[in-house]
Amino acid sequence: MLELDGGDAGGGYLRTALALSVLTGRAVHIESVRGGRPEPGLKPQHAAAVEAVATVCDATVTGTDVGSETVAFEPEGQPCGSTSVDIGTAGSVTLVFDTVVPLALCADAPIKLCATGGTDVAWSPPLTTFRRVKLPFLRRLGVPVAVDTSRRGFYPVGGGTATLTLAPADLDPLALAERGAPEGLRVHSVASAGLADAGVAERQAAVAVDRLEAAGRTVHKRTVSYVESDSPGSVCTLRADYDTGVAGLDALGEKGESAEEVGRKPVDALDSFEETGAAVDQHLSDQLLPFLAVVGGVVTVPAVTDHVASGVDLLSRFGCDVAVEEGNGQVQLRADGLVGN
């Protein structure tokens, strides 16, 4: 059993460790889970992620209670089948999905996961960004994956429900050294139904599109929608496609913040991203690490964030050494991968 220490990391370390455990068939014992956070141990969303992965691969697992700082996980079979989890709070549904998505690389049958909780909440990919940016990009790489949404869940109540489906995938090594030429911009603005009279979704989108067009950029698509939810909320996502790479920049509406402020933030983030030579945005940077571990290849990221640093260290513990080359405002991650090892 591989002994791991999450004392300097957060939930991403746990999620990546679980995925790599299944992908390599190697049992793990993780001490000091989320030890780098003010309140260490499993939060409801982390417990739900452990439960979901354990169910689809028939794992033997201990330490799954909320607050647990030690998790032992031993996968018993190849991932497959259907399951559901209820986070019970506004904990992130998309982070639960993030734990399961890499399992497509070793699944022997389709996987279906229904999760209830927060679909668009802070410190995690909003569902709009997950569906509109990450999943299309993964499908382009060769991962058959999709999400259907039954209800959106904003902070603080949550109560959103979405279903992830994915099928076995066989990927080539990642070829993301450069992002390539720009191919198009898309703006997606979503708000809860109670904000329709105030035109929140339209106002978010209008500001984002106006700022982009004023800078000489062409917006190829704009969507505006209102959704049913138990809590009021909104999100504005900007997707930037390139010949090879992709970036998803987003902002969540917050109390006391205007719709116009929300719409401006993704555009500002796009300007910062394009000052780098990265092929993917900083959030995809660490989310792609399990794929890099298995199939190898190269990916250029904006910076070595804490998530990337802890993820690279974790990959080395599983026998996948990642070369990190920094320079010219970008960082290149390169690995041989574990396929055939």
Confidence of residue 341 (pLDDT cuts 50, 70, 90): very low
At the top level of CATH, the class of 2-170 is alpha beta
Max Cα–Cα distance, the chain, nearest Å? 58
CA distance 166 to 46: 20
**Range list of β-strands (E), 193-322:** 219-227, 234-242, 246-252, 297-301
338: pLDDT confidence band, cut at 50, 70 and 90?
confident
Domain 182-273 sits in which CATH superfamily?
Answer: RNA 3'-terminal phosphate cyclase, insert domain (3.30.360.20)
At residue 340 the predicted structure's pLDDT band, cuts being 50, 70 and 90, is very low
- List, edge to edge, every strand of the sheet that includes 219-227: 219-227, 182-192, 234-242, 246-252
Residues 285-298 have a mean pLDDT of 96
* Contact between 31 and 69 (Cβ < 8 Å): yes
**Whole-number pLDDT of residue 327:** 82
Ramachandran region of residue 4, left (φ > 0), alpha (ψ -120 to 50) or beta? beta
Residue entry with tokens 């909003």: 126
Q: Three-state DSSP class for 19?
A: helix
Residue appearing with tokens 């996502």: 237
Q: How far apart are CA 6 and CA 13, in angstroms?
A: 7
Residues 6+ apart with CB under 8 A from 60: 54, 72, 73, 74, 76
CA 300 to chain centre: 17
CA–CA distance, 225 with 201 (Å, rounded to integer):
7
Work out whether strand 111-117 and strand 81-86 pair parallel, antiparallel, or are unpaired. parallel
Cα 13 off chain centre by: 13
Tens digit of each residue's pLDDT (9 = 90 or more) over 114-154: 999 999 999 999 999 999 999 999 999 999 999 999 999 99
If DSSP states are collapsed to H, E and C, what string results for 20-88?
HHHHHCCCEEEECCCCCCCCCCCCHHHHHHHHHHHHHCCCEEECCCCCCCCEEEECCCCCCEEEEEECC
Four-residue CA torsion sign, 152, 158, 161, 165: positive
User: What is the Cα 134 distance to its own chain's centre?
Assistant: 7
As a whole number, the mean pLDDT across the chain is: 96
pLDDT tens-digit profile of 236-257? 999 999 999 999 999 999 999 9
Residue ranges covered by each domain of the chain: 2-170, 182-273, 277-341
For 155, the 3-state DSSP assignment is coil
User: pLDDT digits over 315-326, tens only?
Assistant: 999 999 999 999
User: Looking up tokens 């559901």, which residue turns up?
Assistant: 84
Q: How far apart are CA 79 and CA 219, in angstroms?
A: 40
Residue 89's pLDDT band, with cuts at 50, 70 and 90, is very high
The residues annotated as belonging to the active site are 307
pLDDT confidence bin for 339, thresholds 50/70/90: low
What average pLDDT does range 27-56 have in this prediction?
96
pLDDT beyond 80 at 205: yes
CA angle 181, 186, 188 (to 5 degrees): 155
